[in-house]
Structure 1
C-alpha cells in the first residue's frame, strides 16, 4: 500500500512501525473542591515547570530546536493564556480543565488562520498536555522506547520530542498531520531525519508493520515487497557512501563551479554548517539579534556577534542580510504600527530607510567586524523594489565601509528591472519564498492558498530567469537563498536559469551537491527550458524530471 505525504529531504528508511502513545484523555469538567486561588497556584506552578523544562530541552538541543523550544516556553507562560485560565478557574473549574479549555480555545484560533500560524496549533496541544500531565503527576507525553530501531508514526510530533529524538533508534518519522512549514518538518530537516509529514492515511498503520519511508518521493510504502525493500536498502547504502565521501566544492558535471552556501540564523550554527560542507554563507539572518527586544542592540553587541560569524569562515564568502523586520516580524522600536496588510507594508529596506539610524548602526558594526577578520563580507538589503532603493542602500553601505553591497530580489518589480537594479549594486540574491508569494499573490502564511506557494511555478521561474540573464549580461553574481535551492532537482533548474551560487539549510547540501554533479551546464539549461514551457508548478516539476532522466550525463541515475 502506498501512502502519500510531503517528504522532508531526500532520504529513505526501512523499519517496523512504532506508534506514539495516545494523548492524555480530556480532563473531566467537574467542580473543583479547592478554591479558585488554590487552583490558580497549581496551574501557574505547573505552567512554570513546563516552561522551564522546554527551555532546558532547547538549551541541550541547540540550533533551530532551541529557538522553537524557547518560543514554546514563552507560550507556556503567556500572560493572555494565564488570564484566560484564571477566568475559567473563577467559575469553579479545576486547574486541569481550565488549562485544557484555555489552550484549546487559542489552538482553535490559530488553526483557523491556516498556513504557518495554523501549524503552530499543534505546539499548543503539546504544551497543554505537558501542563496537565504535571498537574496530574503523570509522565509527560513522549516518544516510545521499544528497545530496537523503529519508524515513528504519530498524529504529529511536538517540537520538544522532535528536538530530542534518538537518531540511533528512530530510523524515520511519519506524521498524519503537519506540512512542510510545521515545526516537525523544520526540525526534521535540520536534524536530517528521514520524514514524510501530512501522510493522512498513515493513521491506518499498526505497530510492527514494516514500512519504507521514501522522503525523496513523498511516499510511505506499507508492507513493501522484497524488491522494494532491497531497492530502499540500496539507496540507503548509496546515500551513506555519498555522505562519507570527502566534501568537494559544488560543481556541475562539466566542472562549472556552483558554490554551495549555508542559510544561517546564528553564529552558533557555523561550525556544523562547515562540517556539512558549506563553502560559505549565502544568507545570514540578523533578525535574532533584534527580536524580543525593546531597543536595538548596540553597535558593539552586533559587532561581537558578526565577528564570531566571520571568524568561522576565513577566506570565504559570507552574505549578511541587514535587518528584515515587518510582515510577520514587527519590532516595537522600528515598525509596530498596525497595518491591514503588513506583507505589503513598511518592511525590509522600507522600514530601515524610515529609521535610518538602525541601518547605519548595523552597517557600522558589520564594517568593523569585516575589518577585524579575513572573511569575504557581502551585505544585502531585503525587499528592494526599485532602483532608487538600490542606490540608497549601496551608497550608504559604501559610505560606512562595506566593500560589497547588493540586494535581495523578492519582488516581481525587482526581477523585471533586474538589469537596472544590478547596474546599481554589486550582486543580487533571490529570495524564492517571498518572490513566489508576491508573484502568485498568495500569502505564504495563509493555508487556504498554500497550493500556490510553489517555486516550481513557471511564472516564478521566468522571473528568476530574468535576473539570471541580467546578471550574466552585466557580469554580476546572482545567488539563490530561498528554500527552492534545497530541492536537488530544482537546484539544477535554478543554475540553468542563471544562478551562480545556491544557499540552503546545511542539511540539504550533500543532496544538492550530488544532484548538480550529474548534469552539465547544457543539461541544466535544457532542463530549465522544459520547466519553463509547462503550464503549472506540478507540470513544471514533471517536465524537469523527464528532461533530467533523458540528459546524456544523467544515464543510470535516479531523479528524485
Structure 2
C-alpha cells in the first residue's frame, strides 16, 4: 500500500478502481500555414460552431446549475472576437491550430489579469480551446472516459464542462493533483455530495488506471493498492458515516446540546427547495447578484422587491441573511463601475462601489425593506467588504433609514477583525466570508492556481482573525456567523464553533455532513481542537492538529 494526502472535501469514503482523465492536448506546432487562409478560416469557423452545438446539447441534458455553466462555455465558442483574432493570426502565417490556440490564450490572459469573477472564466476558455483544437486535429476532445463500472476519477484538474456532466452513478470520488479547498472541483464535490481530495502532491506519478484505491475525504487521504483488511475497514466506516449523514433532520447542535444553527447559501428562489429539504434553519447568505450581473441597467425597485419576496417567503419565521450587491471592477457592471483597474481585487468593489453609486444601494435597501414587510421571515441585511467602524456606521445608518430592523457587516477584510470590537458596537451582527478573508490575509488570489496552496482557510493566521471576531461578538452579545466555503468542511466547522462562531451557512448538500460531525463533539472539545489549530504554524499542521486525539 501507499498513501498520499491532500485537502479533503466532505467526510465520505469511496473504494473503487482508478480511472484517469487523459492529459490535455499537446500545444500545436509553429509550422507556418501552407493552406489557403480563407479556407482555414472557414474550417475554424465550422469547428467553433460544432463545439458550441456540442456544449449546448450537454447543457440541455445537464439542467440546473450545470446548464448555466455549459451555456456560458458555448457562448465562448461563438464569440466573434475569437474568430476575428484567428483570422488575423492566419493572415500573419500561423496554422489553424496555432492561431486558435493563441487566440484563446490571449483572451484567457486578459480575463486572468482582471481577477475575481472574470478570472473564473479563464479555466472555461482553456477547455473550449482544447475542444476546438481537438476538432481541428480530428481527435476526441479530452474528457471524462466512459466506464462500465464505478470508478474514482483521478485528474490534474477538472474543467467545468467535464464536472458539470459527471455520471454520478459511476463516479464515486474525485481526486486531483491541483486545486485547493475553494477550487471548482472542490465546490462541485460539495454540491454533489461527492467525496474528494484535492491538491494531492505526486498523484499523477503514483496513480494508474485500474489501480484499487480508498479515498477518505474526512482524513484527506488516498490509499493506493490497499490490502483486503483496509478495504473492509473502509467500507464499514463508510456505512457508519452514511448512516450518520442520513439520520433524521434535526437542528444543528453539538453533542452536549449547544445549538449551532445550520443555514444555507442561496443565489435565488430556485435554490430554496433544496435548502428546505436539507433541513436548513434559514439562509446565512442570500447573494443578490443574480438580478444585476449581465444587465445593462440596474433592476427596478419593483423587480427587486418581487425577487426578494420570493426567497423570504420560502423561509417563514426563519432567519434570512441578505448580502447587498457585491460587485465592482472584478464583476463589471456598466451602471455601477466598469472602469479598468490594475488590481480589481483591491479596488472599487463591495461597499466602496455602492457608496460611489448610492442610489443603487438605496433602491436595493428599499426593495429589501418592502420584502421584509411582505413576509414573516426574520430579515438580516449586510454589506460586503466592510473594513472599519466608519463604513459600518454608514451602512447601518442607511439601513435604518430605509426601515430595516437588523443591519450588519460582512467580514472579508482583515482590518474588520482587528477592529471587531468597534464594528460590533455599531453592527447588529457580523458574518464572515472566509473565501475573501483568506485571500486578503494570505495575499493569495483565490482564482490563481499557482498560489492555491495559500488559499486555505485552515491557516492559523485566518483562524486567529476568526477568533478575534468571535470574541468580539461574545463580548457584545451579538451573533457572528460564517458563510464562506469553510463552513462546508465538517472538520473545520467544528473548529469555527470552537473559535466562537455562532452559526454556519453552506451549500445545502453539505448540511447533513456538517450536522453529523458537530454531533460528535462537545463545546469544550470544539474549543480544544480550535486551540490546537491556532497554535499550529501552517494550514496543514492546523488540520492535522485539530484531527489529533
Q: CA deviation at 1:438?
A: 3.0
The corresponding residue for 1:389 is 391
State the shift of 1:118 in Å. 8.2
**Matched positions, count:** 547
Inter-partner Cα distance in structure 2 for 1:259 and 1:240: 21
- Quick check: 2:529–2:546 contact (8 Å CA) kept in 1? yes
User: Is contact 2:284–2:504 with CA below 8 Å preserved after alignment?
Assistant: yes
Q: 1:347 to 1:23 in 2, by over 3 A?
A: closer
Structure 1 residue 255: deviation in Å?
0.9
Structure with higher RCO (Cα < 8 A, 6+ apart): 2
State the distance in 1 between where 2:338 and 2:112 align.
Answer: 24
Bigger CA drift: 197-206 or 154-163? 197-206
**CA deviation after TM superposition for structure 1 residue 22, in Å:** 5.5
Taking the aligned partners of 2:4 and 2:368, their CA distance within structure 1 comes to 49
Whole-angstrom CA distance in 2 between matches of 1:30 and 1:411: 49
Q: Tell whether the 8 Å contact from 1:15 to 1:150 is kept in structure 2 after alignment.
A: yes
> 1-side partners of 2:419 and 2:256: how far apart?
31
In 2, Cα distance between the equivalents of 1:55 and 1:178? 27
1:463 Cα offset (Å): 2.4
Q: Give the secondary structure class of the aligned counterpart of 2:202.
A: helix
* Correspondent of 1:513 among 509, 512, 515: 515
> In the alignment, which residue of structure 2 is the partner of 1:360?
362
Spell out the pairing of 1:97-496 with structure 2 (5 A cutoff): 97-104=98-105, 122-135=123-136, 140-204=141-205, 205-326=207-328, 328-496=330-498
Aligned equivalents of 1:115 and 1:290: distance in 2? 16
Partner of 2:7: 6
Q: Pick which of 430-439 and 159-168 moved more.
A: 430-439
Stretches of structure 1 lacking an aligned partner (at least 5 in a row): 550-560
Cα–Cα, structure 1 residues 482 and 25, in superposed 2: closer, same or farther, change >3 Å?
Answer: closer
Q: In the aligned structure 2, how far is the partner of 1:363 from the partner of 1:116?
A: 24
- Distance 1:4-1:107 versus aligned 2 partners, 3 A rule: farther
Partners of 1:284 and 1:320 within 8 A in 2: yes
**SS in structure 2 of the partner of residue 239 of structure 1:** helix
Equivalent pair of 1:455/1:461 in contact (CA under 8 Å): yes
- 1:553 aligns with none
Distance 1:108-1:479 versus aligned 2 partners, 3 A rule: closer
TM-score (norm 1): 0.89
Instruction: Flag the 1:435–1:327 CA change in 2: closer, same or farther, 3 A.
Output: farther
- Alignment partner of 1:2: what SS? strand
TM-score by length of 2: 0.90
1:86 to partner: Cα distance: 1.3
Question: What SS does structure 1 have at the residue aligned with 2:214?
Answer: strand
Distance 1:458 1:203 in 2: 29
Deviations 1:206-248 (A, max 9, x none): 3321111222222221110112111211122112212322111
- Give the whole-Å Cα distance in 2 for the aligned partners of 1:173 and 1:441: 28
Q: Distance in 2 between matches of 1:283 and 1:243?
A: 23
Counterpart of 2:334 in 1: which secondary structure? coil
Distance 1:20 1:533, change over 3 A: closer
Cα distance in 2 for partners of 1:179, 1:432 equals 14
Q: Distance in 2 between matches of 1:119 and 1:180?
A: 15
* 111 and 357 in structure 1: CA distance in 2 versus 1, 3 angstrom threshold: closer
Distance in 1 separating the partners of 2:394 and 2:335: 22
> Cα offset for 1:532?
2.6
Deviation at residue 257 of structure 1 after TM alignment: 0.7
The answer as to whether partners of 2:3 and 2:223 remain within 8 angstroms in 1 is yes
Relative to structure 1, is the Cα distance of residues 522 and 389 closer, same or farther in structure 2, using a 3 angstrom cutoff? same
Counterpart-to-counterpart distance in 1, 2:120 and 2:401:
43
Specify the SS of the correspondent of 2:322. Answer: strand
Deviations 1:348-374 (A, max 9, x none): 111111101110111122222222222
Inter-CA distance 132–433: structure 2 relative to 1 (3 Å threshold): closer
Counterparts of 1:152 and 1:536 in 2: how far apart (Å)? 29
* Paired residues for 1:12-27 under 5 Å: 12-21=13-22
Stretch moving more, 359-368 or 19-28: 19-28
Distance 2:173 2:87 in 1: 41
Q: How far off its partner does 1:397 sit? A: 1.5
Task: Give the 3 Å change call, closer, same or farther, for CA 419–200 of structure 1 in structure 2.
Answer: closer
Measured in 1, the distance between the counterparts of 2:214 and 2:363 equals: 52
Specify which of 525, 539, 553 is matched with residue 527 of structure 2: 525
